[in-house]
Structure 1
Amino acid sequence: MEYLGQTQTATYMTGPRHLTHYTQLPTIGTMQATQRSYDTYPAPSPLRRSVTTLPWRPSAYYQSAMINPAIALTRSTIEPASTKSQLTELDAHRVPPVFTAARNALYTRYTPNDWLASNHSNYLASDRVRNGAERLRLESVRLCREADDKTKRTQNDVGKRLGERILDINFWKNELSHETDNILAETSQLLETKKNMEKFLAETANPLHIAQECLYNREKRQSVDLVHDNPEKKLIKEIDIIKRCQDKMRNAVDRANVQLSLNRAAQHELERDSTDKFVAENLDTTCHGLRNSSRGIAYHDGVHRIDNSVSVPETWAKYTSNNIRRSQSERAASKNLKNELDAIVNECNNEMWQEWNAVNVALNQRIQETTDARNKIQTHLSKVLQEVFDSEKNIELLKKAIQDKEAPMQVAQTRLETRLRRPNVELCRDPVQHRLVEEVGEITDTVDILQYKLREAENALQALLRTKAALEQDLSIKKNSLFIDREKCLTLRKTFPMAPRIASL
């Protein structure tokens, strides 16, 4: 019995073998002194190797064996069970009994069948290995060709996509450049309009100063002549109109500044986007020009696993489109604001001119009505005094009402604080707790309303006191009032102190 892939001289379940190559078999006497038995080598007990247990698998040419007394000493060998394995040619040459230990060497020979089987096995193994090697060689050649073709196709496809990407970048870069020029031109026009608006705003100080000077002169009227009459209302209205126009123009200037900032911000985004696309185009152009024979190419291990992308083609195009759309929107808003600034200048100029004439007419009428106004001013003064008295009483009443709410608030908050010390589950949010919280809220709201009314009453009282002082001043001297209205006010208001060319802006 042989194991596949093993030679007949292999050792199973025994200790190590020391192979020695011999050109010819040594003599029995010589080998008997050099060979040692492996019977004592540790091995599994049932399969421990010995001459009696495994006589057909010796480990060397010669080996000492134990003598079985059951076998006659006159027999040189043990008769084999099979006739095929008998060495009949050696039967005539009996080995002397003294050399019985060497008889096992007769069974170490290979048979011709073993020799033919070994050769046939070698032939088959050679054919199998050669066929496998040839198959592997052809498969390797085919794989190399396919890998080369696939790599070339992939590289060509990448180059094509890089070219398309460069065209896309160049298109958007041109769009950004065109939009940048437009936003720059619009910003320049808006800046010029803003400067004209600021110039007009500076010139409105002259009519405002005259109106304020007239009011200041009329404040010098004495006694019952110091009245809040129609000329004063017109003057105040004129001042309000001038100030409103100034506020409107300042607001327009501020809006223009904001719009200029937005224009510059949009311009900055366009320029930054254009700069980024310029850099990206240069990098992609460099990548597009790289070849297998180019200089500077090298391994960058792990670079394909790095993904620092912040956009996809859709968001990339949308970002630039949004920048251009934002710039177009800012340009449209800038153009509308520029037209609005021109309209504000004309509107303010017309309003101030009309109010200027209205104040002059009111002053002339007031000079005629001055002598008839004394009694009316006195009546108004008495009414103002009564209202001042009532307002003071009302203020005291509000203060007393606010003070009366302190004790209920303290009681409610004390109750809430006391109930916080309830133990364990007794710390229940019962209807009493809800009502106490509502009570604190109601008292707080009531106090806030009363304080708000108190502030309104105090403001009204201050306005009444100012009116009272003005009426008393108006009743002082009629001559002084007539002198102020006729000589001082009308003299200042003979000509409109603004250049008419401003209105044509």
Structure 2
Amino acid sequence: MREMDMETENLEEHKRVLEKAYADTKTPFVIAEECLLQREKRQGIDQVHDDVERALSKEVDCIKRCQVKMKALIQKAEVQLKMNRAAQHTCDKDAKDKGHAQHVDDKMYGLRNSSGGIGFHPGVESVDNTVTIPYTWVKYTQENIRRSQHEREMSEKLRGEIDSLLRACANEMWSHFNNVNNAFQSRVQSTQDAKAKLQSHMQRTCNEIRDMERAIELLKKAIKDKEGPMKVAQTRLDERTRRINVELCNDPVMKGLQREVHEIRESVRILKDKLRRAENALIRLLKTRAQLEHDIGIKENSLQIDSKVCMGMRKNMPMDPKTGPVYTMPVSCY
């Protein structure tokens, strides 16, 4: 009976540890699901089913499986404890009955003709209120002992199952925990690298925009600077048309002025064409800058989610053996 008491105490302790471990899986489960939920807030090109999401999904499935197995063993332990106590109660009652019978028999064994309290009990020899015979009496006790031994064996086996489950869950959850963290670190690093490249491209684009804006200003100034010479040449031509009679001669001066006007006009045309192409290039550069700003914003949002929010939450997972027995490896209740 003492062995059964000890076994019941051991099973109760195993059940307590298992219940604590089960409770400790709730925070990692909530955090893993929250990480999946937070990562749905990623934007644009970063909304991908990446290694982190796959690792998180596997972690959630792992914790669910462990919780189901733990819950099943907790319920099994509750049933086994009832069986232990029932077997213990039966043995206790049998022992108590035997103690009472022993007391009666010892007392009767000591009776003598001179003993007090003896007397006639007519017809008592005909009374048969027995419920067993020696065979069934022995069998009853043997059955109680066998049942007690069987329940102890089942209880010990169950404790072994609890130990094995705790170790298996600890190993599996640790493995997934590390896999998720490694996936996060790799993803954060690749995102940081991509952001750095975008920022470098952004810097070059901004420099090109400044250079292009300066070039446009210079082209506009060059076009503006052509206005004076054009006015002079055209004014000279206009005034020379006012000569009279034979003086209206298409002389070398006239031809030179006409050629000068054509040259200035062609130069302005070329400058305006360059200005148009420069302004179009500037528009493209501005669009590129806007797209780069958008892409950098996407990367910053992803880094905020993965590095700050998700990894920040995962730092609060119960990794300390004092706070999370399921993460203690190896796990043992002995």
Q: What is aligned with 1:308?
A: 129
Structure-2-length-normalised TM-score? 0.56
With over 3 angstroms needed to count, the CA separation of the structure-2 counterparts of 1:277 and 1:232, relative to structure 1, is: same
Q: What is the distance in 2 between the residues matched to 1:219 and 1:316?
A: 71
Q: What is the distance in 1 between the residues matched to 2:154 and 2:311?
A: 44
- The 8 Å contact of residues 27 and 317 in structure 2, kept in 1 or not, is answered as no
> Which residue among 243, 255, 270 is the counterpart of 2:64?
243
With over 3 angstroms needed to count, the CA separation of the structure-2 counterparts of 1:300 and 1:496, relative to structure 1, is: same
Q: Does 2:175 correspond to 1:349? A: no
- The 8 Å contact of residues 197 and 249 in structure 1, kept in 2 or not, is answered as yes
Question: Residues 30-61 of structure 1, C-alpha deviation per residue, up to 9 Å, x if partnerless?
Answer: xxxxxxxxxxxxxxxxxxxxxxxxxxxxxxxx
> Which residue among 23, 26, 30 is the counterpart of 1:209?
30
> What SS is found at the alignment partner of 1:300?
coil
> Which stretch shows the higher mean deviation, 351-360 or 300-309?
300-309
State the Cα distance separating 1:295 from its structure 2 match: 3.2
> Which stretch shows the higher mean deviation, 221-230 or 487-496?
221-230
Q: What is aligned with 1:255?
A: 76
Q: What is the distance in 1 between the residues matched to 2:75 and 2:329?
A: 21
- The 8 Å contact of residues 222 and 478 in structure 1, kept in 2 or not, is answered as yes
With over 3 angstroms needed to count, the CA separation of the structure-2 counterparts of 1:214 and 1:300, relative to structure 1, is: same
Q: What is aligned with 1:488?
A: 309
With over 3 angstroms needed to count, the CA separation of the structure-2 counterparts of 1:487 and 1:323, relative to structure 1, is: same
Q: Does 2:146 correspond to 1:325? A: yes
Q: What is the distance in 2 between the residues matched to 1:227 and 1:321?
A: 68
Q: Which has the larger radius of gyration?
A: 1
> What SS is found at the alignment partner of 2:132?
coil
With over 3 angstroms needed to count, the CA separation of the structure-2 counterparts of 1:314 and 1:224, relative to structure 1, is: farther
Q: What is the distance in 2 between the residues matched to 1:237 and 1:341?
A: 23
> What SS is found at the alignment partner of 1:503?
coil
Q: What is the distance in 2 between the residues matched to 1:240 and 1:207?
A: 12
5+ residue gaps, structure 1, are 1-179, 370-476
Aligned residues: 219
Task: Supply the AA of the counterpart residue of 1:220.
Answer: K
Task: Supply the AA of the counterpart residue of 1:261.
Answer: K
Q: What is the distance in 1 between the residues matched to 2:48 and 2:147?
A: 57
State the Cα distance separating 1:227 from its structure 2 match: 5.9
Q: Does 2:160 correspond to 1:334? A: no
State the Cα distance separating 1:316 from its structure 2 match: 0.6
Q: What is the distance in 2 between the residues matched to 1:280 and 1:500?
A: 53
> What SS is found at the alignment partner of 1:290?
coil
With over 3 angstroms needed to count, the CA separation of the structure-2 counterparts of 1:359 and 1:293, relative to structure 1, is: same
Q: What is the distance in 2 between the residues matched to 1:338 and 1:198?
A: 13
> What SS is found at the alignment partner of 2:329?
helix
Q: What is the distance in 1 between the residues matched to 2:42 and 2:313?
A: 17
State the Cα distance separating 1:186 from its structure 2 match: 1.9
Q: Does 2:2 correspond to 1:181? A: yes
Q: How does 1:40-439 map to 2 (within 5 A)?
A: 180-221=1-42, 230-363=51-184
Q: Percent identity?
A: 48
Structure-1-length-normalised TM-score? 0.39
Task: Supply the AA of the counterpart residue of 1:338.
Answer: R
State the Cα distance separating 1:241 from its structure 2 match: 1.3
Question: Residues 290-320 of structure 1, C-alpha deviation per residue, up to 9 Å, x if partnerless?
Answer: 3344333334344333322221111110111
Question: Residues 124-161 of structure 1, C-alpha deviation per residue, up to 9 Å, x if partnerless?
Answer: xxxxxxxxxxxxxxxxxxxxxxxxxxxxxxxxxxxxxx
Q: What is aligned with 1:503?
A: 329
State the Cα distance separating 1:350 from its structure 2 match: 1.0
Task: Supply the AA of the counterpart residue of 1:235.
Answer: L
Q: What is the distance in 2 between the residues matched to 1:199 and 1:503?
A: 15
- The 8 Å contact of residues 353 and 496 in structure 1, kept in 2 or not, is answered as no
